[in-house]
Amino acid sequence: MESFVEDLNSQVQCLFCHETMNEPKLLKCFHTFCKHCIKSNAQLDGNITIFKCPQCISQTVLEQLSDVEDLQTSMIHTRILQVLSFLENQKVCSVEVGHCEALWRCLDCDCSLCDECLGYHAKFAKSHKVLSLSNLTKEDIGTMTKREESCKTHISENVEWYCRDCDKLICVLCLKDHDHDEHKLSSLPKFLINAKEMLSKNLEEIKELTSNGEERMKQQENIAIDIRDYGEKAKENVKKVTKRLVKSLLDQEQQLLTHIQKTITKAERNLRIFHHTSAAQEFIEYFTHNGTASEMIEILNEECAKKFTYEPFQHDLGGIDFKPNERLYSQVKTGLGKVTFCKKADANQCSLKVESNIEAMKLTKLTVVMKTTEGQAANEYLDNVTILVTPEDDVQLGEKEMMVDGEATVNLTAHFPGQVTVHIEVRGNPVPNSPNVLNVKPQHIPIKVTKIAQDLSIGSKDFRGIAVNKSNTRIAVGDSSSHCIRVFNIGGDLLLKFGSEGSGQGQFKHPFGLEFIGETDLVVSDFNNHRICILDTVKGRIVKTFGCQGMGNGQLKYPRGMCVDDAFNIFLCDSENHRIQVFSKDGDFLYKFNLQNGKPFGIIAHKGLFYVSVSVPSMVHVIDMKNKQLSSIINTIGGKDCGVGQLKELRGLAIDSDGNLLVCNEKMISKFTLDGHYIGRTNSLSYNPYFIEALADGNVIYSSMGGGLFSI
């Protein structure tokens, strides 16, 4: 008997403090310790508190010390503690502490009784099992330790049934209360048999797991870790989707309420006018005759004017109603989505699939076909799929997407021709056809037919200069054969035709380069007159002419393209003098930049740098041209070392909406990055392109000699 009690005591001894447990708490490692021991021996690790189990060294994370309360209480240890407590205090009568010494124990009532209380107890509970405390046996104590708890609803009743629907133990009175009608019930013995069978099955699975070696256990451990970690991400995704949907619904609710309230306000305003028609008329008439200007401004402001505004409704209206979107309601009832298990992909079974004919600056789809070890489609978590393309600076990668058929896709845009290498890993392991080298072809730039290009192509079709103002409201075109300038609005309507052949004021000989200075004034390089003219495109008159033929400062020899900076300084390609000359908006010479033997044709300014097309030798110079002392060529584009991107017979330039450089050259338009990487070109054109201009809507228009205007 004593050894049995000692065994019970040993079962509830805390291995930390070596005392009888007080409020035993079950750790995640299935070991049990006192609540106080866990709390007092937990250690702070960063922002979290950790308790290390002294038996297995595993860690239980406690976000806060108060989380110890939330740890599961060990019911078995608690029950043993209750029995041991009874054994220590068995002489005390449970009915009344002041009674005589307790000599009896009712196992059904779970209480100790003195002789007096036993007499009363016998009258009402004749069938209960009562034991003499002086003759307690090992079996009696064992029975006490295994005694079921009383019904939680009816404290005086023993539980006899298990309700599967409620997942709780119930008594006979619970059945009489009809709270469990039509529920699935099991008798207590049957429930115990089923529960023990389930636990035995779990025990066998654990034994089998340990007997199959560490590899199988490690595999299952990794799966459990994945499900735990990705489960948390799935929860966050559910919250995010729900939050987005709720916000959308609340926004729509507010829009509907605002719309209804506006209608109600309109109705109330009309009612006010109906009820005070004569007074409203008198007030408005009086105010019309006597109100001052300042008073008129006050009364005619938007809010005040509404008080006097009568807006009749349609004569057949009979009210306002809200009709709910039943289809939306039905869709919401189908749920936010589905929770699915991800099938783990085996990198050795996966592969990379790439579209053919990859072009620079063209969207290409990379597809990772994912399979399980058995070769089935795997819906692997995207975080486990690594897609890397090198050189990284040469490409742009979109967001990864998971398709329903076990394929992960990502959009790839290669910035320029050449080769890029795709590296694919699934769960940290490369797929069989990784790395994969992709050949990127030069971009093919198609010629487009646009309304604006057609509208501007009137006259001789021999066009050179083309310019658009900063606000994209005016477009100017130089007609070389007709020796005139045409100005259009952005819709293609002709606003002005100005000029004729000659050398006088308002005349041109082959107008060449064009550039707006401000929104309406247009700078024109008068090619064969060796001068610059500034045209007011609103009034249709020349406001400034400067320059003459020669080689000195401020003199010109066949001027071509130009650009204007933010200070309205004019940067002019003085072609036959092999230089760039800089003038103020008033025509004053400021400084020059010599190009040795180069003949500049076109020039554009972009982010503090100047890009100059030079026809001989054929290349684009990138010039840092701050002033005459600080001007230097910092890069060249399209020269002999550019391979397939080598340029010939260069003309006009432009920067497109993507920030790339467009260059008109021998019967084609070529595209480069601003640091000189060749991207692609058009097919061979029927007419030589001369000047090119990018519009705000993304369209690009270029002029040609003999073909008119075109778009790319």
Each residue of 562-602: pLDDT tens digit? Answer: 999 999 999 999 999 999 999 999 999 999 999 887 899 99
Banded model confidence at residue 2, pLDDT cuts 50, 70, 90: low
Smallest Cα–Cα separation from 592: which of 545, 544, 629?
Answer: 629
- In sequence order, the 6+-apart residues with CB closer than 8 A to the CB of 534 are 517, 521, 522, 523, 524, 542, 543, 544, 545, 585, 587
Q: Which two tokens stand for residue 200?
A: 């035995």
Q: Which residues on adjacent β-strands are paired with residue 582?
A: 571, 591
Q: Which residues on adjacent β-strands are paired with residue 476?
A: 467, 487
Smallest Cα–Cα separation from 603: which of 490, 475, 465, 484?
Answer: 465
- Residue 337: its pLDDT value, please? 85
CA distance 263 to 266: 5
Q: Which two tokens stand for residue 434?
A: 């990784």
Residue the block writes with tokens 């080689």: 551
Banded model confidence at residue 643, pLDDT cuts 50, 70, 90: confident
Among 68-77, 515-524, 544-553, 700-709, which is the least confidently predicted range? 68-77
Instruction: Assess whether pLDDT exceeds 60 at residue 1.
Output: no
Q: Which residues on adjacent β-strands are paired with residue 556?
A: 549
Instruction: Assess whether pLDDT exceeds 90 at residue 64.
Output: no
Q: Which two tokens stand for residue 190?
A: 């049957």
Which residue did the predictor score with more confidence, 59 or 88?
59
- Residue 90: its pLDDT value, please? 67
Among 290-294, 318-322, 464-468, 643-647, which is the least confidently predicted range? 290-294
Instruction: Assess whether pLDDT exceeds 90 at residue 349.
Output: yes
**68-to-25, 28, 39, 507 alpha-carbon distances in Å:** 8, 12, 7, 94
- Residue 282: its pLDDT value, please? 81
- Residue 209: its pLDDT value, please? 74
Residue 253 φ then ψ, to 5° = -60, -45
Q: How far is residue 521 CA from its own chain's centroid?
A: 45
Banded model confidence at residue 35, pLDDT cuts 50, 70, 90: confident
Are 508 and 529 in contact, with CB atoms under 8 Å apart? yes
417-472, pLDDT tens digit by residue? 999 999 999 999 999 999 999 999 999 999 988 899 889 988 888 999 999 999 99
Residue the block writes with tokens 């690790």: 45
Extract the runs of DSSP E, i.e. beta strands, from 38-88. 43-45, 48-52, 59-62
115-174, pLDDT tens digit by residue? 888 888 888 877 788 888 777 777 777 777 777 778 888 887 888 889 988 888 998 888
Q: Is 135 helix (H, G, I), strand (E, B) or coil?
A: helix
- Residue 307: its pLDDT value, please? 63
- Residue 291: its pLDDT value, please? 79
Are 31 and 55 in contact, with CB atoms under 8 Å apart? yes
CA distance 12 to 32: 9
- In a 13 Å sphere around the CA of 613, the CA atoms on its Cβ side amount to 30
Banded model confidence at residue 305, pLDDT cuts 50, 70, 90: low
- Residue 671: its pLDDT value, please? 96
- In a 13 Å sphere around the CA of 464, the CA atoms on its Cβ side amount to 26
One-letter amino acid at 345 equals A
- Residue 629: its pLDDT value, please? 62
- Sign for the CA dihedral angle at 626, 627, 632, 638 comes to positive
Instruction: Assess whether pLDDT exceeds 60 at residue 292.
Output: yes
For 18-33, the three-class secondary structure string (H helix, E strand, C coil) is CCECCCEEECCCCCEE
Are 463 and 478 in contact, with CB atoms under 8 Å apart? yes
Banded model confidence at residue 88, pLDDT cuts 50, 70, 90: confident
Among 507-516, 576-585, 603-612, 622-631, which is the least confidently predicted range? 622-631
Q: What is the mean pLDDT of residues 34-50?
A: 83
Q: How far is residue 120 CA from its own chain's centroid?
A: 75
Is omega for the bond preceding 435 within 30 degrees of 0, making it cis? yes
- Residue 525: its pLDDT value, please? 97
180-198, pLDDT tens digit by residue? 888 899 998 898 898 888 8
- Greatest alpha-carbon span in the chain: 138
One-letter amino acid at 249 equals L
